[in-house]
Amino acid sequence: MGCANVLKEASRLAMASALEAIITVPLFAKGLVGVSHFFGTKIAPDPQGPGRNGPSLRVVTVHQVHGTAALVLDRRSPSMRSIVAGEGEASTGAHGYDAIVTNQPGVLVAVETADCVPILLLDPVRGVAAAVHAGWRGTLGGVVPKTVAVMQNRFGCSLRSIRAAIGPSIGVCCYEVNGASVRPGSKA
C-alpha cells in the first residue's frame, strides 16, 4: 500500500471513528486465523461487560506512565502464568509500561488512551501481537521502535512481516503543544 493510500485510509478511519463504536483494520484480518483486534471508542461496549456473547476474554492491561517500556507476556512470564491459571479478568497491575507484547492465544492485550495514540502491531508469521500507548513523551522516546525491537529480539519477528495500525486519537485542531515539545530531540 503506497503512502497516499495509507493516508487516505487513515483519513477514512478518522472520519468513521466518530460514528463507530469499534474500529477494525482489514489488513489485520489477513494471514492469521483467530486474531481478533479492534480500537474501541468512548461509545464502545466493555469487552468484559454484561451482555457480551461468546467466551470470556482474558484482558491484560498495565498502569501506563507515558514511557517506552514494553511488558512481555509469554509462557515464561510470571504475569502470563496467573492469566493462564484463569483468574478472571486479568490486569497485571504492572507499573511503568506503555506497551504489551504477547504470542499467547486467547489473551487480549489492551492500552487505554484519550489524547494519546493507540497503536496495534501484529506479526502474522510469528503469531505475535502488541498494543502500544503512544503519548508525546513515549513517541519522542521511541516507544514504537522499542516495542518492535522486543518483538524481534524475544520472538524472532521480522520487520518485513510486522503490520501496524494507528487508532483514533486527539487531533491537531483540539490540542495545544508548546514549542519545546515539537522540536526533535527536546526533553520530554
Q: What is the pLDDT of residues 76-133, one digit of tens each?
A: 766 554 544 444 444 555 778 999 999 988 788 888 888 889 999 999 899 999 999 9
Count of beta carbons in the 10 Å neighbourhood of residue 146: 17
CB 93 within 8 A of CB 63: yes
Cell numbers at 76, concatenated = 515464561
The residue type at 90: A
Name beta bridge partners: 22: 40
Q: Where are the domains of the chain?
A: 25-37+56-182
34: Cβ contacts below 8 Å, ≥ 6 apart? 105
Does residue 39 sit in helix, strand or coil?
strand
Residue 188 pLDDT: 45
| CA end-to-end distance (rounded Å), the chain | 33
CATH, domain range 25-37+56-182: 3.60.140.10
pTM for the model:
0.72
Q: Which helix (H) or strand (E) holds 120?
A: strand 117-123
Name beta bridge partners: 119: 132, 166
Helix, strand, coil fractions of the chain, as percent rounded to 5? 30, 20, 50
Q: What is the DSSP letter of 95?
A: B
Residue 75 pLDDT: 77
Residue 153 pLDDT: 96
User: Is residue 180's pLDDT more than 50?
Assistant: yes
The per-residue pLDDT of the chain, averaged, comes to 74
